[in-house]
Chain A
């Protein structure tokens, strides 16, 4: 892709940089700003304002029962957070969850996308079918899995016992060493389709001529994958991984429905909600939320920076 498009690009860029913007260009820029303005306002209202308020509350001792009267307590909440073993347990759970789920989803998504990209009969139907887990609301699928995980009448234990994989029924969501795995499994089931879809989109931009050329040259399929396919879809793959990692870091619904407030799988978001709502401690809960926001923000900045250096340097995308 890069080799094909690289030539005309530097020319176009030079032209843009050298000439002063014409009246038409300036006019178009102005109208573009006007068109973006409503969305920017809406974003400021629904995302910016709550975020600012949360950060503000994290420096106070506000209580959910009475949000009008509170005192500023400086960094007290963050200091308490720093020595709270339950909080660090939640951070650790979240990081493990994000690493495990995103790696498995990436590999599985790649495999499924490569399969769907092949010219099979009924490919359209298959692609639609793959999306079903992604289309079911998380609350519904999590509750469904809760029943399948049940230690006494769950279908999962039934199947595994029948196959001889386990000797006694497992308490998937109750056993502290299994709970996080159980949550990861459901997330993989649910989100692999999303990964597949993004990778499939990237795969379809790879020109078929390259594959024809490798076939004529008799290149080994494994080599084709690592030397041709993977480098060409890296940009798309990276974006997919960013999405999933950000999502995984602020996961709330799955662990909350599968294991409740249990420490075995509580994530940062579950912990923050418990402090904010159950304990009414808006100050402390906001501090936890702010920390969560910082983690996600830092990840985003790092990813985007890395992404630009590697992929925008070579050429502008469409």
Chain B
């Protein structure tokens, strides 16, 4: 047998999932990329299709990867090829700086007055060089979820510091394991080597007063004793109160562990609330939610600032219809529906007084101060290098959590890497 007779390699074709609607005369087809964490895909699809029915256009819903950095990679690939494949994109609060050249100015394309209804800070975050590149959909911050029933059973208070949390988690975990609940763990969070770990670790460090990796002037500040103390505490959780598996958990895996009743505490985004209260949730009505703990008595409550916005692809063939859809999805009705159905925070101050929202998901208004004081990732100052900064940071944290080097060693190395990346603060 000679190499000449080798068979041809198998080619795989990946088809994007699409949901065409019935045809209308004169209608255009607008494709929209919905998120896919938790219930947001179904929610977004319903919203987009409602707009389609109202306006007589067709909507094609495109599904995107779960990890936000994978979504960004997909968009960057499409946009750098000037592809109009996806008309309406949902973008993360840290992306406007990266994607702005490829996005339509929504300040002109959206109906007058819509942008002004939002919190000015969030509009500001979506503005690049005076152009509003996306309309806010919801805002996010990391929250602490806890099992009310288990804390009560073991006479534990809701922790206000990470140290208290560590102790309470240990007490409950030990007690429950003695009672035969072998799979119960104290704390789960997002520990996979991806953007989510950057958010988690930034929260630990900021709660200890350890800064924001790179400060507003561009100086690398991450190598400091407070940041090291925060990471050292986090590393001590592994295998003690946190399953080793978190090192590969993203949001949905963490929620899977918590919602199936296998964890006392969980760090996650607000969306996890609605799902934990759904009819088939084993922990329904046993869950409480509060601000993330402080890093000791001198620390502060914090949460990583997240949030998503609707943007229109500048290479779209149907910019007008796409802008209409984006404005609809970012509008007050959809924001209210989102706050009620999938428990995400509106970006409009007026909705924080809405009785329907307050009744269904009271924490949204109760934790307003947390959302307003949330800590932003250093995406603005590091610009197009942010991905590399974040990746270097999450790798250093991941190494610390797995026990490859101490927090001090890894932060010192990270500082060197970041200084090289950012040309000593000039970025």
Contacts and interface: CB of A to CB of B under 8 A. Distances in A.
Size category, B interface: 35 or more
A115 B24 CA distance: 60
A307 interface: yes
Contacts of A54: none
B192 interface: yes
Given A263-B395, A277-B76, A152 B257 contact: yes
B391 A173 contact: no
Interface residues of A, number: 42
Nearest to A264: B402
Contacts, number: 108
Contacts of A262: 192-193, 247-248, 398
B80 A311 contact: no
Interface stretch (B238-246, B302-310, B328-336): B238-246
B192 A171 contact: no
A150 B245 contact: yes
B1 A174 contact: no
B3 A64 contact: no
A66 interface: yes
Given A152-B260, A152-B262, A279-B387, A239 B248 contact: no
Nearest to A280: B76
Contacts of A274: 391
A310 to B, nearest CB: 12
A181 interface: no
B69 interface: yes
Interface string A298-318: 000000100110011000111
B231 to A, nearest CB: 17
A153 interface: yes
Contacts of B194: 260-261
Contact of A260 (B1, B67, B76, B260): B67
A277 B77 contact: yes
Contacts of B279: none
A138 B12 CA distance: 10
A304 B404 CA distance: 41
A176 interface: yes
Residue picked from A263, A274, A278, most chain B C-beta under 10 Å: A278
Contact of B80 (A67, A150, A171, A260): A67
Given A260-B192, A262-B192, A175 B244 contact: yes
A236 interface: yes
A162 interface: no
Nearest to B248: A174
Contacts of B249: 174
B416 to A, nearest CB: 12
Q: Lowest 10 CB-CB distances: which A-B pairs, in order? A: A151-B245, A174-B247, A171-B244, A174-B248, A171-B245, A262-B193, A277-B73, A317-B1, A173-B248, A235-B1
Given A153-B260, A317-B1, 17 more contacts: A150-B245, A151-B245, A152-B243, A152-B245, A152-B256, A169-B243, A174-B191, A235-B1, A262-B248, A277-B76, A278-B72, A278-B391, A279-B387, A280-B384, A304-B3, A308-B3, A311-B2
Interface of A: 64-67, 137-139, 150-153, 169, 171, 173-176, 202, 235-236, 239, 242-243, 259-264, 274, 277-280, 304, 307-308, 311-312, 316-318
19 contacts: A152-B262, A153-B256, A169-B245, A171-B244, A174-B191, A174-B246, A176-B404, A239-B1, A242-B3, A261-B194, A263-B398, A277-B73, A277-B77, A278-B73, A278-B387, A279-B391, A311-B1, A316-B2, A318-B1
